[in-house]
Amino acid sequence: MTTLTPGAAQVELAIGGMTCASCAARIEKKLNRMDGVEATVNYATEKARVTFDADISVAELIATVEATGYSAREPVRAPAGGPPDTGDGGADDGQDELRPLRQRLLTAVALAVPVIAMAMVPALQIEYWQWLSLTLAAPVVTYAAWPFHRAAWTNARHGAATMDTLVSVGTTAAFLWSLWALFFGTAGTPGMTHPFEFTIARSDGAGNIYLEAAAGVTAFILAGRYFEARSKRKAGAALRALMELGAKEVTVLRGDREVVLPTSELRVGDRFLVRPGEKIATDGTVVEGSSAVDASMLTGESVPVEVTVGGSVTGATLNAGGRLVVEATLVGSDTQLARMARLVEDAQNGKAAAQRLADKISAVFVPVVIGLALATLGFWLGSGAGLTAAFTAAVAVLIIACPCALGLATPTALMVGTGRGAQLGILIKGPEVLETTRKVDTIVLDKTGTVTTGRMTLLAVHTAEDTDEAEVLRLAGALEHASEHPIARAVAAGAAARVGTLPTPEDFANLPGLGVQGIVDGHAVLVGRAKLLAEWAIDLPAPLRRAGAEAQAAGRTAIAVAWDGRARALLEVADAVKETSADAVVQLRALGLTPILLTGDNEAVARAVAAEVGIDEVIAEVMPQDKVDVIERLQGEGRSVAMVGDGVNDAAALARADLGLAMGTGTDAAIEAADLTLVRGDLRAAADAIRLARRTLGTIRSNLFWAFAYNVAALPLAAAGLLNPMIAGAAMAFSSVFVVGNSLRLRGFRSAGR
């Protein structure tokens, strides 16, 4: 629990028992009715964030949730200095929670398949087949479908109707009528079959059973719920991925001794050692040594940061150069990494869960069907048709409304759409994502790793007169190959790619903050800043000076090369723009989206990259923790914002955006916080992802329409008492076949970038 002001506090409750977005809305409404309480309930993360007055206890809040028909608990907090509780109980607990649902699904599938087969294939209708069907269907309708019945009862107590209500009422009506027909009608007679007659005639229903509808609907919808639940269990994975970025152990200096401790035992003021290639354990100040620090995992920017005594470093970044001694200034929950984890959690909690379309339709459809069934019963009783005929017609109305195709509408389209997406390098997390893709009008693109490659690359070589480019690359590459600096590695890799095997330096010295020097093939070689050459009284010729100025204006790093007392060349190193990024921006504009480039880099670099790919609007020099503020500002302007990123620094912004797209080549934290993952690392996949998601949503909508349309068309026959089992079966089967066929059309989706 967090205290906000002297008169208010905030608590985050883990909510259990929600089955749809309307459940979250109901809990939120109940909590907000309490005096002095403001609550936000998120169905996706199964959490309620509640701000309340000091005179209200957490126990009262939990009691209110429980009185609404759901469970609530306050998440267990981690020990001081440890990672925050993500509220999901960890991956193992998530699997434990899925186990009962998986068991119900397996039971339903194993028992429903033979029931459906016997009902649909006359050759399988052996003597007493109907009693075998009852034996197999009973556990499905009772045990496997119990979550639907429980949710329907909870909804009924609060005067609400959802998909659960429709499933429960339909399957229960079909099962109870089948019981009556078997025990009190003629359906239990040995040798009974369902003849394939499509005649419209009044029947007393005594020979009709609908066990396949009850068992089949339960199995189909349980399958959809299971895969949805698996996706929801990952809600806390972004936080775990963030916390796992940090170093697990740290070498602390105790006098003259080096003591290895868990990072959780590190305290403010402790001095710790960071060797080359190690992660920095926590935020601190350098007190000894100098190095280049690779902060790309947190900031997303590929250019390394040079640090010396007095400089600040951030926990979880990588020491890419020399030995450092750092004094800890922030530890545990106060570090930048922990603050970013909280930003991701806040963004996930604040993101509104999309109301499931099936629940919206069910909220109207269920009361109408129940009302029609009661009206049918009353009409036939009033007309003197008799109790059996009246009850037959009323139950027929409920049975024909049973949502066979509705159970297939979303899962089949999502399965085909996500399967096709996976083939194209696009991963869609769940059905809630699709609704958002239709609304977005602005797409914010992180620069590094999204529009650009995310790694330093040798882009250009400018040589002085009478200097061979291959010789420059051979000598400079050989010297830089001996350095651990990220820029040096870029030069060495570029040189090796162009000239092949590099010679080995006979002598080598690293000059922190300046560059490197050494002897290569008998030449005294200098590679680094112009300042390094000036210390050796070597001036850059005018053409090389101009090239250096132009490189810096474009945001590139200029590296001077000299040997034997003369400046020979200038190398340009930068984060290269991906070849496909400009084409991707064109495709995004064609989808009606306005692209914006967002980066922590300086304005000159950002403008140069934006001009190269065709982006007009640029937001530069943004700190990692401020990216969320940028997204919120754009949303405050009335825009629906999609965000594409790849770094840890993008995770909170991806979660806060209306639609988050993570490059699969990026960090786990970004991928888990996003709604869509682009496995290919190609920005054109973002346009493909939005097009595919929109088409999948359109398919689901048409599926839902026809799923209801076929059943609704038969409702008048049921109300008139003219329904026979073949017409009911045909309506249900045809709607299901149509839904599956319509969904399979998504397999023909093609990428615009191929």
pTM of the predicted protein model: 0.59
**Over 70: is that where the pLDDT of 344 sits?**
no
Nearest alpha carbon to residue 358 among 405, 418, 417: 405
* pLDDT score at 194: 65
Please report, rounded to a whole number, the percentage of residues in the chain having pLDDT higher than 70: 79
**DSSP label of 191:** T
Distance of CA 106 to the CA centre of its chain: 27
* pLDDT score at 501: 86
Query: Which element (helix H / strand E) includes 391?
Result: helix 387-400
Segment among 299-313, 519-533, 659-673 with least mean pLDDT:
659-673
Please report, rounded to a whole number, the percentage of residues in the chain having pLDDT higher than 90: 16
Mind listing the pLDDT tens digit for each residue in 106-116? Answer: 999 999 999 98
* pLDDT score at 93: 47
**Over 90: is that where the pLDDT of 641 sits?**
yes
Nearest alpha carbon to residue 24 among 345, 353, 359: 353
Q: How far apart are CA 527 and CA 24, in angstroms?
A: 62
Q: For residue 99, what are the contacts with CB-CB under 8 A and spacing of at least 6?
A: none
- Pair of tokens at residue 353: 């869960």
Angle of helix 163-183 versus helix 129-139 axis, rounded to 10: 150
**DSSP label of 503:** P
DSSP structure string for 366-382? HHHHHHHHHHHHHHHHH
Q: How far apart are CA 422 and CA 486, in angstroms?
A: 34
Angle of CA points 389, 391, 395, to nearest 5°: 120
Strand 271-274 and strand 249-254: the pairing is antiparallel
Place of tokens 């839902």: 704
**Over 80: is that where the pLDDT of 229 sits?**
no
User: For residue 22, what pLDDT band results from cuts at 50, 70 and 90?
Assistant: low
Q: How far apart are CA 465 and CA 471, in angstroms?
A: 13
* pLDDT score at 339: 67
pLDDT mean across residues, the chain: 79
Residue 638: which region, alpha, beta or left (left: phi > 0; alpha: psi -120 to 50)? left
User: For residue 734, what pLDDT band results from cuts at 50, 70 and 90?
Assistant: low
- Pair of tokens at residue 582: 């400009």
Per-residue pLDDT, averaged over 723-735, amounts to 57
Per-residue pLDDT, averaged over 426-441, amounts to 76
Q: How far apart are CA 194 and CA 328, in angstroms?
A: 79
Give the CA radius of gyration of the chain.
Answer: 33
Mind listing the pLDDT tens digit for each residue in 73-87? Answer: 876 544 333 444 444
CB 270 within 8 A of CB 282: no
Per-residue pLDDT, averaged over 692-712, amounts to 81
User: For residue 206, what pLDDT band results from cuts at 50, 70 and 90?
Assistant: low
Active-site entry in 88, 294, 359, 446: 446
Per-residue pLDDT, averaged over 403-425, amounts to 70
Q: Counting beta carbons within 10 angstroms of the beta carbon of residue 376, is it exposed (0 to 12), middle (13 to 18) or buried (19 or more)? A: buried
User: For residue 488, what pLDDT band results from cuts at 50, 70 and 90?
Assistant: confident
Assess whether 446 carries a catalytic annotation.
Answer: yes
Mind listing the pLDDT tens digit for each residue in 741-754? Answer: 888 888 888 887 65
Q: For residue 280, what are the contacts with CB-CB under 8 A and spacing of at least 6?
A: 247, 274, 293, 313, 314, 315, 316, 317, 318, 319, 324, 326
